[in-house]
Amino acid sequence: MKRNSTSLGIACLIGGVSVFSVQDLILKLISGAYPLYEAMTIRGLTSTPILLLFVWIEGGRASLFNSGTRQMILRGCVMFLAYFTFYIALAGLPLPTTVALYYSAPLFITLLSVGVLGEKVGLPAWLAVILGFGGVVVMLHPGTALFSWTSLLPILSGLTYAVAMITARRMGTVHSASALAFWGNTVFLACALLMAAVLHTGAYANESDPSLGFLTRGWITPNPTDFGLMMTCGVVAAIGLWLLTQAYRMAAASTVAPFEYTGLAWSVLWGWTFWRDWPDAQGWIGICIIAGAGIFVLWQERQRAAEARELPGHSG
């Protein structure tokens, strides 16, 4: 793995996370007035031409239709589940809590990078991963009134996102980032349209819970401002999907994954600015444990990579 490739992968990861934080903010803002499938549909339609441009630049139509198309579509289904569960959680949880729980994803990625990709992770890094999951448990507030079923959704999102990114790492040697992102967006749009066909009348609307309301309410024609926000999500998604997919194609998953935690800072900033959401003491403990574990994993993997380069006969 070339050093410049790793650096570019890290840069793409940080850029993708930063861009996607804007989408999280927008979806949280509109979650009390519109259904999720409506925002997803407008987002998907807006993303499609942008991603087609990326496809044309990186390889053209041939990169979309080949022997690996089915695998790319299946990966898109996993990505849809990852984002869908995260978006539903956004409506019912504070933004910093949702993002912090979702950041179990880099821990899952580190685990899967060993089991699926055969990448090596040292014992200290394993201990850090275990500690990180301990931080997730702290943030869940198990056994208290603060615990809810919604809190489990970001963890499911983290797991499915990890599977999708590890798959990108394996498929990225054959398929371009734009092709993977295009099929991910296509599946996303198809699922949104299917949900719209079933739920658009509002016959199944359930406002007893913010997350259920975001999922089930009927289609509401957006005003120009909100329509523009939903379209912005499409631009953000196109750029963010490409950057994140590129990151896991260019660098080892266990190296770039800890940089996912930069999104925690954005979530706290947006949460405080727009809703005055501020994690309680237990929440901050969980955030610090999760972030600290990720940073430690990064440091350990850098040390391991540096030692490997110094071995006689090693060629990087």
Residue 269 binned pLDDT confidence (cut-offs 50, 70, 90):
very high
pLDDT of residue 315: 39
Taking alpha carbons only, the member of 246, 285, 296 closest to residue 136 is 285
Residue 232 has pLDDT above 70, yes or no: yes
DSSP secondary structure letters along 39-64: HHHHHHHHHHHHHHHHHHHHT-GGGT
Residue 314 binned pLDDT confidence (cut-offs 50, 70, 90):
very low
Provide the CA 164 distance to its chain's centre, in angstroms: 9
> Which position has the higher pLDDT, 32 or 121?
32
pLDDT of residue 143: 61
- What is the percent of the chain where pLDDT is above 90? 38
Q: Which burial class, exposed, middle or buried, applies to 67 when counting CB atoms under 10 A from its CB (0-12, 13-18, 19+)?
A: exposed
Residue 43 has pLDDT above 90, yes or no: yes
Report the mean per-residue pLDDT for the chain. Answer: 84
Least trusted range by pLDDT, from 17-31, 136-150, 226-240, 266-280 = 136-150
pLDDT of residue 177: 77
pLDDT of residue 254: 67
pLDDT of residue 224: 95
pLDDT of residue 250: 81
8 A C-beta contact, residue 131 and residue 295: no
pLDDT of residue 144: 59
Q: Angle at CA 167, nearest 5°, toward 2 and 237? A: 90
* Mean pLDDT of the region 266-272: 92
Q: What is the pTM of this model?
A: 0.81
**Secondary structure string (H, E, C) spanning 233-246:** HHHHHHHHHHHHHH
* Mean pLDDT of the region 142-162: 81
**156-167 pLDDT, tens digit each:** 999 998 888 787
Least trusted range by pLDDT, from 2-11, 35-44, 232-241 = 2-11
**58-112 pLDDT, tens digit each:** 878 888 888 788 888 998 899 899 989 999 999 999 998 888 888 888 778 778 8
pLDDT of residue 1: 46
Taking alpha carbons only, the member of 123, 78, 86 closest to residue 102 is 86
pLDDT of residue 139: 83
Least trusted range by pLDDT, from 17-26, 44-53, 140-149, 230-239 = 140-149
